[in-house]
A and B are shown apart, each in its own frame.
Chain A
Amino acid sequence: MPKMSTPLLSIKDLSKSFVMHNVNRRVMGCQHISFDVMPGEFVGITGRSGSGKSTILRCIWRTNLPESGSILYDSAAFGVVDLCTAPERQMLYLRANEMGYVSQFLNVLPRQTAYDIVLKSALETYGVERMEEAREHTERMLRHFDIAENLWELFPRTFSGGEKLRLNIAAAMIKRPRFLLLDEPTASLDNASKVKVRELIEQLKGEGTTMLGIFHDLEFMEGLCDREFNMQSGVIV
Chain B
Amino acid sequence: MSAMTVAAGGFANAQAAEAPCLSVSHLSLKFGKGCPACEGEHAKLERNVCPVCGTVHAVRDVSLEVYPGEIIGIVGESGSGKSSLMKCIYFDQQATSGDVRALPYDGGAENILTCSPQQKRFIRNSVFGMVYQNPYLGLRMDFSSLSNIAEQMIAAGDRNVGHMCERGYYLLDKVNIPARRAKDAPALFSGGMQQRVQIAKALSNNPPILLLDEVTTGLDLSVQASVLDLILRIRRDFNVSMLVVSHDLGVIRMLADRTFVMLDGQVIEHGLTDQILEDPQHAYTQQLVYSLL
In the complex, chain A residues 20-40 whose Cβ is within 8 Å of any chain B Cβ: 20-22, 36
B26 interfacial by beta-carbon distance below 8 Å: no
| Given A93-B14, A109-B254, A111-B226, also A62-B275 (CB < 8 A) | yes
Q: Is B290 an interface residue (CB 8 A)?
A: yes
A112 within 8 A of B: yes
Chain B residues with Cβ under 8 A from A18's Cβ? 279
Interface string of B218-234 (1 = CB under 8 A from A): 00011001101100100
Contacts of A92 in B (CB 8 A): 70, 257-258, 272
B241-262 toward A: CB 8 Å interface, digit per residue (1/0)?
0000000000001100110000
Which listed residue, B1, B18, B272, B286, touches A21 by the CB 8 Å rule? B286
- Are B279 and A63 touching (Cβ within 8 A)? yes
In the docked arrangement, what's the CA distance between A109 and B224, Å?
Answer: 10
Contact assessment for B10 and A90 in the assembled complex, using a CB-CB cutoff below 8 Å: yes
B163 at the interface (CB under 8 A from A): no
Provide the A60-93 mask, 1 if CB < 8 A to any CB of B, else 0: 0011110000001011011111100011111111
B137 within 8 A of A: no
A21 to B202 CA separation, bound complex (whole angstroms): 41
Interface presence of A6 (CB below 8 A): yes
Shortest Cβ distance from residue A149 to the other chain B in the assembled complex, whole angstroms: 23
Q: Is A110 an interface residue (CB 8 A)?
A: yes
Contact status B6-A81, CB under 8 Å: yes
**In the complex, chain A residues 82-123 whose Cβ is within 8 Å of any chain B Cβ:** 82, 86-93, 97, 107, 109-112, 120, 123
| In the assembled complex, A125 has its CB within 8 A of some CB on chain B | no
CB pair A89 B11 closer than 8 Å: yes
Asked whether A195 is an interface residue with its Cβ less than 8 Å from the other chain, the reply is no
The answer to whether residues A78 and B7 also contact, given A65-B271, A88-B258 and a CB cut-off of 8 A, is yes
Q: Does B13 contact A (CB under 8 A)?
A: yes
- Tally chain B residues at the interface, Cβ within 8 Å: 40
A51 at the interface (CB under 8 A from B): no
Give the CA-CA distance A97 to B14 in the complex, in Å. Answer: 10
B237–A128 touching, CB < 8 Å? yes
Residue of A nearest to B287 (CB): A22
Interchain CB contact under 8 A, B1 and A5: yes
What are the residues of chain A within 8 A of B222 when measuring CB–CB?
111
- Contact yes or no, B7 A80, CB < 8 A: yes
Nearest-CB distance from A213 to chain B (Å)? 19
Q: Is B67 an interface residue (CB 8 A)?
A: yes
Closest to B14 in A: A77
Number of A interface residues at 8 Å Cβ cutoff, please give it.
41
The reply on A176 being an interface residue by CB < 8 A is: no
Q: Are B4 and A88 in contact (CB under 8 A)?
A: no
Q: B214 at interface (Cβ–Cβ under 8 A)? A: no
B4 contacts A109, C-beta separation under 8 Å = no
Complex CA–CA separation, A87 to B9 (angstroms): 10
Inter-subunit contact B225/A20 (CB<8 Å): no
The docked-state distance in angstroms from the alpha carbon of A171 to that of B10 is 27
Q: Which residues does chain A contribute within 8 Å of B229, judged by CB atoms? A: 109, 111-112
Residues from chain A with a CB closer than 8 A to the CB of B6 are 72, 80-82
Name the CB-closest residue of B to A89: B67
- Asked if residues B4 and A64 are in contact (CB atoms below 8 Å), the reply is no
B109 — which chain A residues lie within 8 A by C-beta?
none
* B281-292 near A? 1/0 per residue, CB < 8 Å: 111001100100
Q: How far is the CA of A78 from the CA of B257 in the complex (A)?
A: 20
Give Cα A82 to B286, complex, Å: 26
- Could you list 23 examples of A-B contacts with CB < 8 Å? A10-B4, A22-B283, A22-B287, A22-B290, A36-B1, A63-B275, A65-B275, A65-B281, A77-B13, A78-B7, A78-B11, A78-B12, A79-B12, A80-B4, A82-B6, A86-B10, A87-B10, A87-B11, A90-B10, A93-B14, A109-B228, A111-B222, A120-B236
Having A6-B1, A89-B15, one finds 14 other A-B pairs with CB under 8 Å, namely: A18-B279, A21-B282, A21-B283, A64-B275, A72-B4, A72-B6, A78-B13, A79-B12, A80-B4, A81-B6, A86-B10, A90-B15, A92-B257, A92-B272
Chain A residues engaging chain B, CB cutoff 8 angstroms: 5-7, 10, 18-22, 36, 58, 62-65, 72, 74-75, 77-82, 86-93, 97, 107, 109-112, 120, 123, 128
Which 10 pairs show the lowest CB-CB distances between chains A and B?
A77-B14, A21-B283, A79-B7, A64-B279, A110-B225, A63-B274, A111-B225, A63-B278, A82-B6, A72-B4
